[in-house]
Amino acid sequence: MNIVIVGGGKVGTALTEHLSNEGHDVVVIDKDPKVIEESVNQFDVMGICGNGVSHQVQTEAGVAKAHLLIAVTSSDELNILCCLMAKKIGVQHTIARVRNPEYAQQMHFLREELGLSLVVNPEFAAANEIARVLRFPTAINMESFAGDRVDLAEIKLPKDNVLAGMCVHEIASRLKSRVLICAVQRGDAIYIPNGSFRLEAGDRLHITSKRSDMIAFMKELGIYRHRTKNVLISGGGKMGYYLARQLSETGHKVKVIEKDEERARTLAQLLPHATVIVGDGSDRSLLLEQGLDNQDAFVALATMDEENIITTMYAASLGVGKTVAKVNRVSHDLLRSIGIETAVSSKTIAANQIVGYVRALENSGSSSVQTLYKLVEGRVEALEFRITAEDAFYIGRMLKELRIQDDVMIGCILRKGKIIYPCGDDSIETGDGVVVISSHHGFKTFEEIFC
Amino acid sequence: MNYRMVSTTVGKILIAEALLLLLPLSVAFYFHESDTLWAFLATGLLLLLVGGLLEIKKPRHRRIYAREGFMIVAISWMLISCFGALPFLLSGAIRNPIDAVFETVSGFTTTGSSILTNIEAMPKSLLFWRSFTHWIGGMGILMFVLAFLPQRENQSTYIMRAEVPGPSKGKLVSKTMVTARILYAIYFCMTVVEIILLWAGGIPLFDSVTTAFGTAGTGGFSVRNASIAAYDSVYAEIVISLFMLAFGVNFNLYYLLLVRQFKRVFKSDELRWYLGIVATSTVLITLNILPLYDNLAEALRYAGFQVASIITTTGFSTADYTGWPVLSQMLLLTLFCIGACAGSTGGGFKVERLVVICKAALSRIRKSINSREVVSIKLDGNAVDMQYAYNVLAYLAAYVILVFLGIFFICLDNVDMPEAISAVLTCFNNIGPAFGKLGPAGNFSSLSNFSKVVLSFLMLAGRLEIYPMIIVFYYRAWKRKN
């Protein structure tokens, strides 16, 4: 597929990497020649230096014949304008990143009336993810599928846990609650476990189940933590605003610390149920004064990664139950090695959303990718397929009769609003949604998961 | 330094050379030249063996960077030249190994300087191989490998950047492999058209093919002792002149023509300068040599052909310009240094760089008049990044230093100063004939082995634009860790 990416910032670069590695013909447009040079050196793509809204630059980039244009410059207005221009020049699909909350309310209009295929709001998506984790603080990370109905949680097995040393097939008989273990991360290795896989303390499990089952499971393991009530957010940017709004709507007590007085005043108007504090969120005495030590959760959303890392570590040392840091540049592996478990990167979230959309565009016919999540630094993919085939060989057959590739697991089946966590006797029907977890990369159709 | 990746890629290139040897092999078969047939067969098998051994060990990780790219290019070019010399040696056509290597390097780098005293006495298949090396070297053997061997990783950009001449290395399309294919397709089609045109003009087929190879790669090996003058055909001279000029143009422009973006072609400063230089020097030389020839048409014929031949760094000749007035000789020597357009098959300093340094100098002068004036250097209507201008100036410095070092080395050989200077310039810019004894009528056989080695190095350095050949001899580049 021919893809034009406008803007070579953090999201743009992440997209360039993913999409060129998946074999697409990528053209990157950016104003800064250094950014272009960097991209062209690192990836097999073409770079064009210029303003992405310029008609001439777009023609030069071959927008007329491209399938998709992705506008991820730092300005919302530029992105929207870029997409509109490209649409007129003749591109088939357009994706724009729009972050401003004022525009975010008119997403529907942007899509339906202006013809943008997808509008991505990374800050909003990241705030959603943080809110999910805070509702379910035992999990290190939470992803959701099928319109938030299916959760995929990452938990860490503590020492001396009942599960340590147990085989996966024994769990059903030893514990009352039923969950599906989709992926296990041990040190640097990733496993998609089968029945004889033996768990060890320190493993990171990615599990999926009904929410009630998941809670029961964690209670049995003795790692369950109640949902958070008091949340302190440092940094009142876009993400902070989205998060505070969501949390206060779901009954949390939210306190937002914002450095800029003007911004703080705006926030106070926008968030009537939250407490807004003016001050430096990295200042220790201010944090203590605002009662950091008796919060249930602390979320660091300042601009600087370093500041977020240090403040979350400080909060954790004070015994705050759940800490979340916004980190855009540092890799999650590195953060884990210094003890920061839950980190959210809007860049990764946006990139995953778009790559998932591209996959969905690509496949035609019997099945299509609905959502794509990259877990464990992108080494495991969780894909939601929509089965549209009427007469494929797998329709109606019991799963235990089908031969599925190694390192691939069917996480759950969504049928008519119901969620089925499948065992060998279940089958796949036309119209189902199927969540597949795999350490392979680049599945585009559902058929590919079979041997 | 990813040694395994370097050796695998070099191995692949040697195997590609073995496959390319099939062509001269079949020529040898056709002309029943059994000696050279065996020589080609033995060389091919040896290449397969060495290439296979280098290639067999799979690298642990396939990531390469600029350093490995330069290294791969430099090593491959040296190795293909050494192996390419084997048919000359094994068949006994050239006895001195240094001579054979010089001849092959001269072929691959599209220089066209020869040590052969009687070209017409050589077996046909060897003459074919000699000209075919021009064709391979013109577009680059690594580009060939990139275009046609399956690539699993996307690391090819660095290799392409190290081999394609010119300061700016634009891709035509996103994928390096597709870009390489498009370029080769354009190259191939133009070569075929030239063969047909020459053949239609009454040149024997074998001569048409070899001459077209020499033109396409802007090389300059001819299969006749008297070069193009042997055919004494105005038609052939015009066809060859036009094709030499055409192969000296940036190939990206042909792609733009193909996708009907005519505006961008006409906006090219480099093309305008290139054509301007050709026209001006043709007029000046024609006027200058007018007394030597019967009429204006005659003078124009020789001057036009020689200018086209020299500026594109081809080096065919129809007249012995060493007998021309000094002004004409000096003009030709200047053209030696300028060379063809970036992204063409020609060598030299490249017109694009010349445009940039001229404009940089001009902007400096304007700045000295009014120190507060902000002057930007523009190329094709777009402002040039200062880093880019700096890179061009740095290249100029490296170019000048290397040329001077080369001249000092050649002077050890006790040749005339004009001969030493012109020999270095002709080899470094991949042209072919020099002045004096080394002119179009003479050849390089009289030089010592040492001079031939130095000139071979300069030819490679000139073709690969200096840096790869320096880096390969730079100890820090060989360190395993950065």
Give A24's contacts in chain B (Cβ within 8 Å): 174
3-class SS of residue B111 = coil
Distance in angstroms (rounded) separating the CA atoms of residues A62 and B243: 30
Give B176's contacts in chain A (Cβ within 8 Å): 44
Nearest to B174 among A33, A45, A60 (CB): A45
pLDDT recorded at residue A150: 76
Question: Which residue stretches of chain B have pLDDT < 50?
Answer: none
Give A20's contacts in chain B (Cβ within 8 Å): 154, 174
Asked if B385's CB is within 8 angstroms of A25's CB, the reply is: no
Q: How far is A399 from chain B (nearest CA, A)?
A: 34
Nearest to B385 among A25, A33, A45 (CB): A33
The DSSP output letter for A199 is P
Contact residues, chain B to chain A, C-beta under 8 Å: 66, 154, 156-158, 171-176, 178, 264, 385, 387
Residue of B nearest to A32 (CA): B385
CATH number of A349-449: 3.30.70.1450
Nearest to A27 among B156, B174, B387 (CB): B174
pLDDT recorded at residue B482: 55
Classify the phi-psi angles of A52: left when phi > 0, otherwise alpha if psi is within -120 to 50, otherwise beta. alpha
pLDDT recorded at residue B400: 95
pLDDT recorded at residue B404: 95
Which DSSP string corresponds to B188-251?
Answer: HHHHHHHHHHHHHTT--HHHHHHHHHHHHTT----SSTTGGGGG--HHHHHHHHHHHHHHTS-H
Q: How far is A44 from chain B (nearest CA, A)?
A: 6
Asked if B154's CB is within 8 angstroms of A20's CB, the reply is: yes
Q: CB within 8 A of B398, min separation 6: which ones?
A: B466, B467, B470
Give the residues across from A383 on adjacent strands: A372, A436
Nearest to B175 among A21, A25, A33 (CB): A25
Asked if A41's CB is within 8 angstroms of B66's CB, the reply is: yes
pLDDT recorded at residue B82: 93
Sequence-ordered strand ranges (E) for A288-366 = 297-300, 322-326, 343-344
Task: Return residue ranges of chain A for CATH 3.40.50.720.
Answer: 2-120, 228-343
Give A45's contacts in chain B (Cβ within 8 Å): 174
Q: How far is A360 from chain B (nearest CA, A)?
A: 22
Residue of A nearest to B256 (CA): A60
A228-276 pLDDT, tens digit each = 888 999 988 889 999 999 898 888 889 999 999 999 999 999 888 888 9
Q: CB within 8 A of B288, min separation 6: which ones?
A: B324, B325, B327, B328, B331
Q: How far is A306 from chain B (nearest CA, A)?
A: 27
Asked if A25's CB is within 8 angstroms of B171's CB, the reply is: no
pLDDT recorded at residue B3: 83
Contact (Cβ atoms closer than 8 angstroms) between residue A354 and residue A413: no
Asked if B157's CB is within 8 angstroms of A33's CB, the reply is: no
Q: How far is A89 from chain B (nearest CA, A)?
A: 16
Distance in angstroms (rounded) separating the CA atoms of residues B479 and A317: 44
Distance in angstroms (rounded) separating the CA atoms of residues B341 and B288: 26
A99-111 pLDDT, tens digit each = 888 887 787 888 8
Q: Which two tokens stand for residue A111?
A: 């899509």
Asked if B176's CB is within 8 angstroms of A44's CB, the reply is: yes
Give A41's contacts in chain B (Cβ within 8 Å): 66, 157-158
CATH number of A2-120: 3.40.50.720
Contact (Cβ atoms closer than 8 angstroms) between residue B380 and residue B269: yes
More confident residue, A233 or A33: A233
Sheet with A141-145, side-by-side order of all strands: A141-145, A150-156, A204-209, A180-186, A189-191
Q: Which two tokens stand for residue B315?
A: 């080096």
CATH 3.40.50.720 fits A228-343, yes or no: yes
3-class SS of residue A368 = strand
Distance in angstroms (rounded) separating the CA atoms of residues A430 and A395: 7
Asked if B173's CB is within 8 angstroms of A44's CB, the reply is: no
pLDDT recorded at residue A115: 83
Q: How far is B144 from chain A (nearest CA, A)?
A: 17
Asked if B174's CB is within 8 angstroms of A20's CB, the reply is: yes
pLDDT recorded at residue B343: 85
Give A25's contacts in chain B (Cβ within 8 Å): 173-175, 178
Residue of A nearest to B168 (CA): A37
Asked if B173's CB is within 8 angstroms of A25's CB, the reply is: yes
Nearest to B174 among A41, A46, A60 (CB): A46
pLDDT recorded at residue B131: 93
CA angle B280, B286, B290 (to 5 degrees): 155
Binned at pLDDT 50, 70 and 90, residue A367 comes out as low
> Best residue in A21, A44, A68 to probe B by mutation, most B CBs within 10 Å?
A44
pLDDT recorded at residue B204: 92
Burial of B303 (0-12, 13-18, 19+ CB in 10 A): buried
Residue A400 has pLDDT above 90, yes or no: no
**Class for domain A132-221, per CATH?**
alpha beta
Contact (Cβ atoms closer than 8 angstroms) between residue A142 and residue A235: no
Contact (Cβ atoms closer than 8 angstroms) between residue A351 and residue A432: no
Q: How far is B264 from chain A (nearest CA, A)?
A: 10
Considering chain A, what is the average pLDDT of its residues? 83
Residue of A nearest to B179 (CA): A46
Secondary structure tally for chain B: helices H, strands E: 21, 2
Give B178's contacts in chain A (Cβ within 8 Å): 25
Asked if B156's CB is within 8 angstroms of A25's CB, the reply is: no
Residue of B nearest to A16 (CA): B174
Nearest to B157 among A25, A27, A44 (CB): A44
Give B174's contacts in chain A (Cβ within 8 Å): 2, 20, 24-27, 44-46
Q: How far is B89 from chain A (nearest CA, A)?
A: 41
> Best residue in B153, B174, B178, B259 to probe A by mutation, most A CBs within 10 Å?
B174
Residue A364 has pLDDT above 60, yes or no: no
pLDDT recorded at residue B213: 94
Q: How far is A113 from chain B (nearest CA, A)?
A: 32
Share of chain A above pLDDT 90, in %: 10
Asked if A2's CB is within 8 angstroms of B158's CB, the reply is: no
Asked if A25's CB is within 8 angstroms of B174's CB, the reply is: yes
Q: How far is A79 from chain B (nearest CA, A)?
A: 22
Distance in angstroms (rounded) separating the CA atoms of residues A417 and A392: 22
Asked if A41's CB is within 8 angstroms of B157's CB, the reply is: yes
Which DSSP string corresponds to B126-176?
Answer: HHHHHHHHHHHHHH-HHHHHHHHS--SSS-HHHHHHHHS-SS----SSS-H
Task: Return residue ranges of chain A for CATH 3.30.70.1450.
Answer: 132-221, 349-449
Cα–Cα distances in angstroms (integers) from residue B306 to residues A276, A438, B299, B315, B328, in the given order: 81, 66, 11, 8, 10
Q: How many beta-carbon pairs under 8 angstroms link A with B?
A: 31
Which amino acid belongs to residue B214?
G
CB atoms within 10 A of CB B361: 12
Residue of B nearest to A26 (CA): B174
The DSSP output letter for A159 is T
Contact (Cβ atoms closer than 8 angstroms) between residue A308 and residue A300: yes
Which DSSP string corresponds to A402-418?
Answer: S-BPTTEEEEEEEETTE
Contact residues, chain A to chain B, C-beta under 8 Å: 2, 20-21, 24-27, 33, 40-41, 43-46, 60
pLDDT recorded at residue B155: 59
Residue of B nearest to A21 (CA): B154
Asked if B66's CB is within 8 angstroms of A40's CB, the reply is: no
Q: How far is A13 from chain B (nearest CA, A)?
A: 15
